[in-house]
A and B are shown apart, each in its own frame.
Chain A
Amino acid sequence: MNPDNPTPETPVKPLLDHHADALDAATAMRLQTARQAALSPDARRRARSHALWLWTAPLATAASVGLLALGLDWHTGHEPEMPTLEDVEVLAAHEPADLIEDYEFYQWLPDEGSASEEP
């Protein structure tokens, strides 16, 4: 097997396509509803305002965890792992900033077609 371009003999794509097509009706309906919501400007507006509120919950959670950990540390003598600033960011992050600011990605996109490589 060539490690640079190994190709499985099993017909992976048809098998997985079949798996995707075999979704139950309820899940397919939920996906359809999700798609329609994504395409609706009103639903997106509501989601934006909802996301703004959601920002506060993880921050409050992270702050509470820190206080709880400190309190239990004092009470039990157990030494918990304290949340770092990075942890707070992960908890609070609803939008991956790297995607929004991924300038290199957009530089790469125009050349994407010519550089395609079959797996």
Chain B
Amino acid sequence: MDNVIWSPSIQWRSLKPEFSVVARDKERTSEQQYALNAFLTAVERRAFRMAEFATHNPDDALDIVQDSMFKLVERYRDRPEAEWGPLFQTILQSRITDWYRRQSLRRRLFGWLKPSDDEDEGDILETIADDDALDPAEQLALSRDSEALLAGIARLPLRQQQAFLLRAWEQLSVEDTARAMGCSEGSVKTHYFRALKALRAMGGLE
């Protein structure tokens, strides 16, 4: 019969490496959580405004941003921090585009149930524009330049709006913008150029 005497010290030694691995993983996870929190804190307001420009609906914009945050953390948290920015923009723009497509499809499928008002059924991503006014309180708080710029951006077609915000606000390169928008670099240049032209015509840009 084996006389193995259990010793707390022996057991502790055998478990110690596992404890240290767990502690190291925990520390790394904690650092990652901290970094992710800092990253999301830095981008969340801009992301919300971008989604709001596109949807003209704060609740939908919040859903889009929250969904994008979940997606980034769930799938890409282990990617290097330098990649989080482009990844987040790609997710966000994809969500915004999906939202537009769903809205377009709902209009197409259910629109005929309502009385017809001769809606234009063109490509919603290229043609949709907004006539909603900005919140009066915001308008008062911002300068005249800001008002004209924000109102102009809100009226841009979606793809021009995305190209303008990614290039002029997020300062992304043409290549990064093309990745985030899921289109060619040539399309980005065209959308951006048209956005600038439209904003100048509307008095939003000098």
Contacts and interface: CB of A to CB of B under 8 A. Distances in A.
Interface of A: 1, 3-4, 6, 8-10, 12-13, 15-23, 27-28, 30-32, 34-35, 37-39, 44, 47-48, 65, 69, 78, 80-81, 83, 87, 90-91, 93, 95-96, 98-100, 102, 105, 108-109, 112-113, 115-119
Interface of B is mostly: helix
B70 A90 contact: no
A8 B69 contact: no
Interface string B181-194: 01000000100110
Interface residues of B, number: 64
B141 interface: yes
Q: Most chain-A Cβ atoms within 10 A of its Cβ — which of B45, B102, B110, B142?
A: B45
A65 B109 contact: yes
A83 B171 contact: no
B45 A31 contact: yes
B145 A115 contact: no
A80 B173 CA distance: 43
Interface of B: 33, 36-37, 40-41, 44-46, 48-49, 58, 62, 65-66, 69-75, 82-83, 86, 90-91, 94-95, 98, 101-102, 105, 108-110, 112, 138, 141-143, 145-146, 149-150, 165, 167-169, 171-176, 179, 182, 189, 192-193, 196, 199, 204-206
Nearest to B59: A30
Given A6-B196, A44-B74, A118 B173 contact: yes
Contacts of A30: 62
